């Protein structure tokens, strides 16, 4: 029997019992839909996490001094991180930009409205390193930084708290801890990140923050932009080695004098967790595939019993055992793949890997649960099949 003839016969058999065929594959439809949906949810969550981290700067290293406890007494001291370190770190290979960071808290006021918020003192380079975008105005310039200008870029939450929803506050004057500051820009929203909200802050020049607002002489953090994402770990080691040499810290010192936050490691960790979560959801959802496969096997067993005389006639006129086996297996495959494709067209809107997975799983279920009924039908003796009532 030719292959396409077998396909036509299998289709006619299935269409002759539409309701039964649909009920047989309903479990597979639900199972595959659940698996693909869960994988799509996991992939979406992974992409959201990666996008959120990338919005903070994907090629960024953050260096912070750690607190060093004093031996034999209470208290201790911070390791050093100064403005002189900026140029030294920038001279390392593979680094394109650096930005100094100091931070604190202050009370912001505009007429009768006031709000407490975080203050970040930094340089113009921070806007590029941290992928900052503006909805209004501009970032402060290098000239404003050099002359310790009283200018500020507000986060969207801070701007709304002071000026109201949808108001452009550029060129307005606010008070930060009682001193006048001109608003030069408003940041585009990034979204809250746990206890820290990057949308609720005011960014001012680090020179102004250190000398006039916070009264400090050392930095809290240095952000570094690495040219190549693949060199992140290498540059991290170079930065730490440089700081240890500058401050005469033994390289074999087991205490962590400086903490380096690597954005690429965060992305990798978050992606790994998301993938594990997606696999877990897919595994749980695949249980319904097992139930659906058993349903197909039951229907195929009933089909073999009902069509015993038909199988006997076909074998009597020359159909081989392999032809019968192929026909019944094709019926199982068609039930598990063709109807699923007709009933769940939305799968094609997902990733190509999801479509491949849907077809592969459907075919595997059809072959696995359809083989026993097909094998049983193929082994029927023609004379016994023709006698069957």
Q: Per-residue pLDDT for the chain (389 aa), expressed as one digit of tens each?
A: 455 665 666 666 666 666 666 666 666 666 666 666 666 666 666 666 666 665 555 688 889 988 655 554 454 456 789 999 998 999 999 999 999 999 999 999 999 999 999 999 999 999 999 889 999 999 999 999 999 999 999 999 999 999 999 899 999 999 999 999 999 999 998 877 656 788 999 999 999 999 999 999 999 999 999 988 778 889 988 998 898 888 888 777 656 788 888 866 666 666 666 667 667 766 766 666 666 666 666 666 666 666 666 666 666 666 676 666 666 666 666 655 554 444 444 333 355 565 566 556 666 666 666 666 656 666 666 665 555 55
pLDDT at 231: 84
The three-state secondary structure class of 108 is strand
Q: What distance in Å separates the CA atoms of residue 85 and residue 243, rounded to the nearest whole number?
A: 8
Q: Residue 253 has what pLDDT?
A: 67
pLDDT, residue 345, reads 43
Predicted local confidence at residue 339, as pLDDT: 46
Counts for the chain of helices (H) and strands (E), in that order: 14, 12
| Distance, CA of 65 to CA of 85 (rounded, Å) | 12
Measured on CA atoms in the order 170, 176, 178, 180, is the torsion positive or negative? Answer: negative
- Please choose, from the candidates 6, 69, 2, 1, the residue with its C-alpha nearest in 3D space to the C-alpha of residue 334: 6
- Indicate the pairing of strand 201-205 with strand 113-122: parallel
What pLDDT is attached to residue 3?
A: 59
**What is the reported pLDDT for 114?**
93
pLDDT at 42: 66
- In this structure, how many other beta carbons lie within 10 angstroms of the beta carbon of residue 389? 4
pLDDT of residue 97: 92
- Residues 6+ positions from 134 with CB-CB distance below 8 Å: 153, 185, 186, 187, 188
Domain boundaries, the chain: 3-48+276-387, 67-255
Buried residues in 343-375 as b, exposed as e (16+ CB within 10 A):
bbeebeebeeebeebbbebbeebbeebbbebbe
What is the value of pTM for the model shown? Answer: 0.62
With beta carbons less than 8 A apart as the criterion, state whether 57 and 190 touch. no
């Amino acid at each position: 029997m030719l292959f396409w003839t077998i396909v036509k016969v299998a289709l006619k058999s299935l269409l002759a019992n539409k309701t039964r065929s649909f009920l047989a594959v309903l479990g597979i439809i639900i199972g595959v839909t659940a698996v693909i949906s869960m994988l799509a949810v996991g992939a979406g969550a992974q992409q959201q996490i990666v996008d959120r981290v990338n919005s903070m700067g994907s090629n960024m290293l953050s260096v912070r001094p750690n607190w060093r406890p004093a031996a034999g007494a209470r208290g201790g001291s911070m390791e050093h991180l100064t403005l002189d370190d900026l140029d030294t770190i920038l001279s390392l290979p593979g680094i394109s930009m650096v930005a100094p960071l100091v931070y604190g808290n202050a009370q912001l006021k505009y007429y009768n409205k006031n709000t407490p918020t975080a203050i970040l003192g930094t340089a113009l380079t921070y806007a590029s390193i941290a992928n900052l975008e503006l909805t209004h105005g501009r970032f402060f310039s290098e000239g404003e930084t050099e002359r310790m200008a009283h200018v500020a870029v507000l986060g969207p939450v801070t701007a709304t708290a002071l000026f109201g929803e949808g108001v452009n506050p550029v060129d307005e004057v606010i008070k930060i801890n009682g001193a006048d500051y001109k608003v030069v820009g408003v940041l585009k929203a990034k979204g809250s990140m746990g206890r820290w909200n990057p949308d609720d802050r005011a960014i001012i020049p680090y020179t102004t923050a250190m000398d006039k607002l916070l009264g400090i002489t050392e930095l809290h953090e240095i952000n570094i932009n690495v040219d190549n994402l693949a060199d992140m770990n290498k540059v991290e080691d170079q930065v730490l080695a440089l700081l240890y040499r500058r401050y005469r810290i033994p390289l074999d010192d087991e205490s962590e004098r400086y903490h380096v936050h690597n954005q690429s490691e965060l992305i990798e960790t978050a992606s790994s967790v998301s993938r594990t979560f997606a696999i877990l959801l897919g595994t749980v959802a695949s249980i319904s595939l097992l139930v659906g496969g058993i349903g197909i096997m039951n229907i195929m067993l009933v089909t073999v019993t009902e069509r015993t005389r038909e199988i006997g006639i076909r074998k009597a006129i020359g159909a081989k055992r392999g032809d019968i086996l192929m026909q019944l297996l094709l019926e199982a495959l068609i039930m598990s793949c063709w109807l699923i494709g007709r009933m769940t067209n939305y799968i094609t809107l997902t990733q190509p890997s999801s479509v491949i997975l849907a077809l592969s799983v459907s075919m595997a279920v059809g072959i696995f649960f359809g083989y026993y009924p097909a094998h049983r039908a193929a082994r029927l003796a023609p004379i016994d099949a023709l006698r069957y009532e």
